[in-house]
Amino acid sequence: MNSSVVTIEARQAAGQRLRERVFRLATLAAALLVLLLLGGVVLSLVVGAWPALSHFKFSFLTREIWNPVTDQYGALAPIYGTLVTSALALLLAIPVSFGIAIFLTELAPAWLKRPVGVAIELLAAVPSIIYGIWGLFVLAPILQAHVQPALIAWLGPLPVIGKLFQGPPYGIGVLSASFVLAIMVIPFISAVMRDVFETVPDVLKESCYGLGATTWEVIWQVVVPYARTGMIGGVMLGLGRALGETMAVTFVIGNAHRIGSSLLAPGTTISASIANEFAEAVGDLYTSSLVALGAILFLITFTVIAFARYMLMRLERRALSNV
């Protein structure tokens, strides 16, 4: 009887070891598959972009011209539009997202937290093309009739930043695209900030209140320092969303391959250029130039994510050293 029990236990142990080994190999294969897919994407982008990069060399990054008739291409205007619209979108979205997250976690009454939180999350589920249509038919006319004329009148004459707000009020342009992008990334940034603010221990805030601190002091001296790493992660998530957005930007940016000194002028981004022209690209050099734009966008996004990860690692190390 004892020998049969030992045999059964040995078989169970062997079966458990086999299942553990299979599970470990399956998870390893899944992880390697991600790296394989990433390597395949990089390889396909490099192969597709190589004819254009070898033909134009470094001038592909420094030229503004984009003329399919003469097969002359430069990526400077799309790169400029991508970086400027994303930076302006974050400049507009971060204060609003921070305010939403603080209100939902620290100030809102209990009956209002859930409806507002659900509404913010629903904004993230709206398709980007809907934002583009709304931006073209609703936001752009409002900007053209009310906002842009005021910016031209009040900020245009200023000596330093005046050039950014000069020219006719088209309604569409870099500033309009930035507004749409800001509205699109607000749900992502605010949701992440809200979640990290909720992880702040109540004992820390209650202790600060017990010492006589105001709500403002608790937010800036307890909540923000404790959740700083997560806040940066949320901002970088929004930046990645803004860098790669395509359809919404295509509707409202004007799709002009030039760099204007004014934010009110039409422009273009890398993703908008690819979406507009890839289906009509004729010739190997034209197609390769569009693939090269995709490779540049991949490099920009990868660099941003890597830099964000580096910043988060430094913040974590600093926090551990302070402890």
Question: What pLDDT digit, counting tens, does each position of 234-287 carry?
Answer: 898 899 889 989 899 999 999 999 998 899 999 999 999 999 998 888 889 999
**AA identity, residue 320:** L
**AA identity, residue 319:** A
Which fold would CATH assign to domain 59-322? MetI-like fold (1.10.3720)
Torsion of CA 40, 43, 49, 51, to 10 degrees: -130
Interatomic CA distance for residues 190 and 141, integer angstroms: 28
Amino acid 321: pLDDT: 67
Cβ contacts of 144 within 8 Å, gap of 6 or more: 169, 170, 171
Interatomic CA distance for residues 82 and 268, integer angstroms: 7
Amino acid 10: pLDDT: 73
Token couple for 308: 């964000």
Q: Do the Cβ atoms of 167 and 264 come closer than 8 Å? A: yes
Q: Where are the domains of the chain?
A: 1-55, 59-322
**pLDDT (mean) for 1-23:** 75
Amino acid 225: pLDDT: 87
Residue 108 has pLDDT above 80, yes or no: yes
150-162 residues labelled b (16+ CB within 10 A) or e (exposed): ebbeeebeeeeee
Give whole-number Cα distances, 144 to 136, 138, 150, 265, in Å: 11, 10, 10, 12
Please state, for a pLDDT cut of 90, what percent of the chain lies above it.
56
Residue 7 has pLDDT above 80, yes or no: no
**pLDDT (mean) for 112-120:** 87
Amino acid 264: pLDDT: 93
Q: What is the pLDDT of residues 37-59, one digit of tens each?
A: 999 999 999 999 999 999 999 99
Amino acid 19: pLDDT: 87
Tell the burial category of 254 from Cβ atoms under 10 Å away from its Cβ (0-12, 13-18, 19+).
buried
Residue 145 has pLDDT above 70, yes or no: yes
Q: Do the Cβ atoms of 259 and 44 come closer than 8 Å? A: no
Q: What is the pLDDT of residues 181-236, one digit of tens each?
A: 999 999 999 998 998 898 888 888 888 888 888 888 899 988 988 888 888 888 98
Q: Which residue has the tokens 């900020």?
A: 155
β-strand partners of 243: none
Amino acid 11: pLDDT: 77
Interatomic CA distance for residues 290 and 275, integer angstroms: 9
Listing DSSP states for 12-81 in one string gives HHHHHHHHHHHHHHHHHHHHHHHHHHHHHHHHHHHHHHHHHHHHHTTHHHH---EETTTTEE--HHHHHH
Between the two ends of the chain, the Cα-to-Cα distance in Å is 58
Cβ contacts of 112 within 8 Å, gap of 6 or more: none
Residue 296 has pLDDT above 80, yes or no: yes
Please state, for a pLDDT cut of 70, what percent of the chain lies above it.
96
Amino acid 120: pLDDT: 85
Amino acid 186: pLDDT: 93
Average pLDDT, the chain: 89
**pLDDT (mean) for 141-170:** 91
What is the radius of gyration, based on Cα positions, of the chain?
A: 26
Amino acid 313: pLDDT: 80
Amino acid 319: pLDDT: 64
Residue 134 has pLDDT above 70, yes or no: yes
Number of residues in the chain: 323
